[in-house]
Amino acid sequence: MAKPMLEVKDLKAHFFIEAGSVKAVDGISFTLERGETMGLAGESGCGKSTTAYAILQLMPYPGKVVEGEVILDGIDLVQRSPEEMRKIRWKEISICFQGAMNALNPVLRIGDQIMEAILLHEDISQDDARRKMEDMLETVGVDPTRADNYPHEFSGGMKQRAMIAMALVTEPKVIIADEPTTALDVTVEAQVLKLIQSLQKKYNLSVIMITHDLATIAEACDRVAIMYAGKIIEYADVVTIFKERLHPYTEGLIRSVPSLLGSDHLVSVPGSPPGLVFPPEGCRFHPRCPIASEVCLQKEPVFREIRKKHFIACHHAEQMWGKDVWK
Ligand code: SF4
């Protein structure tokens, strides 16, 4: 069997603050195949973006990857030096940051920012880099004559397209799209999503799509990992997640979005996610779970394969079959 493009094994990334360590990502594992789009979903603060930074070895201070492996095409990124990572980042794996507005440098022309990424990783002339940059802008639907504009002269949708151009111009194998359509209006959001999908097919890219928007996941992803309080609690193909999910949190999350299943099924998960310096003992979801039992309060559920390629961390997942635990 072919090796996955990216393999994340028991990855832990914590932030060290005065009160203790914030266990933002606390032992997550998943694989990403070549040409696959994996969605990473969950409420804000559940560790989605920290996962992206941990994979790229870009943890902001006072954060650190404390354990685990991130194997990209056979190479463990956690073991690379900062110098080695500078060569790997963008060239092998890149990111389209959340909020293009803040990610682009406001005092540099759009085209120059994209060229900078090319020249950093490729031994080519300024003229060739310019041509490549213009081709890429055209590919993402931005008129190359706008290359000399500054970010503030671009609309939100165009800025997001420019970010996508920057993430793709070095021809990486994996791209992480962190909330790529947040802050865009609905029409532009649909266009940007379509663009990512078409580029993914064109370049046979592996994509991690980080979003709190489950409609985006349903539309664009092959597989989905649901995160809660720093852990992946359910992981399966997109059809299983939307039709045969077995984790009470996944069920609540999907049913909290009226547009997905209709208002008859609407539920709201009570309470809010726990603090991650001292997360709850046992299952981190137990204070909010409608079927929590004694064992849930004491023992952390093992992340196990309940059916073929359907992984779950819940002591009572089997009880979810055909039951409405949120009634
Ligand atoms: Fe609920 Fe227990 Fe499953 Fe956690 S392990 S989701 S508390 S049933």
Q: How far away, in angstroms, is 296 Cα from ligand 1 center? A: 6
CA-closest candidate to residue 175, choices 31, 10, 38: 38
Residue 32 to residue 39: CA distance in whole angstroms:
10
Closest atom, ligand 1, to C-alpha of 317: 3
Q: How far away, in angstroms, is 283 Cα from ligand 1 center? A: 6
Domain boundaries, the chain: 6-221, 228-320
Phi-psi region of 129 (alpha: psi -120 to 50; beta: other; left: phi over 0): alpha
- Asked if residue 315 lies in contact with residue 284, where contact means CB atoms within 8 angstroms, the answer is no
Give tens-digit pLDDT for 35-65. 999 999 999 889 999 999 999 999 999 999 9
Give tens-digit pLDDT for 270-308. 899 999 999 999 999 999 999 999 999 999 999 999 999
Q: How far away, in angstroms, is 265 Cα from ligand 1 center? A: 21
- Cα–Cα–Cα angle for 22, 315, 240, rounded to 5 degrees: 90
Q: How far is CA 234 from CA 96, 139, 227, 260, in A?
A: 25, 35, 7, 19
- The pLDDT assigned to 100 comes to 58
Beta-carbon contacts of 242 under 8 Å, excluding residues fewer than 6 positions away, are 218, 254, 260
Q: If residue 305 lies in a helix (H) or strand (E), which one and from where to where?
A: strand 304-307
Q: How far away, in angstroms, is 95 Cα from ligand 1 center? A: 33
The overall average pLDDT reported for the chain is: 92
Give tens-digit pLDDT for 184-196. 777 777 888 888 8
Closest atom, ligand 1, to C-alpha of 291: 8
| Ligand 1, residues at Cβ distance < 6 Å | 248, 283, 285-286, 289, 291-292, 296, 301, 314-316
- Asked if residue 30 lies in contact with residue 38, where contact means CB atoms within 8 angstroms, the answer is yes
Residue 269 to residue 314: CA distance in whole angstroms:
17
Q: If pLDDT is split at 50, 70 and 90, which confidence band does 267 have?
A: confident
Give tens-digit pLDDT for 111-145. 999 999 999 889 999 999 999 999 999 999 999 99
Residue 7 to residue 100: CA distance in whole angstroms:
27
Residue 18: pLDDT over 80: yes
Q: If pLDDT is split at 50, 70 and 90, which confidence band does 160 have?
A: confident
Residue 50 to residue 262: CA distance in whole angstroms:
32
- The pLDDT assigned to 20 comes to 95
- As assigned by CATH, the class of the 6-221 domain is alpha beta
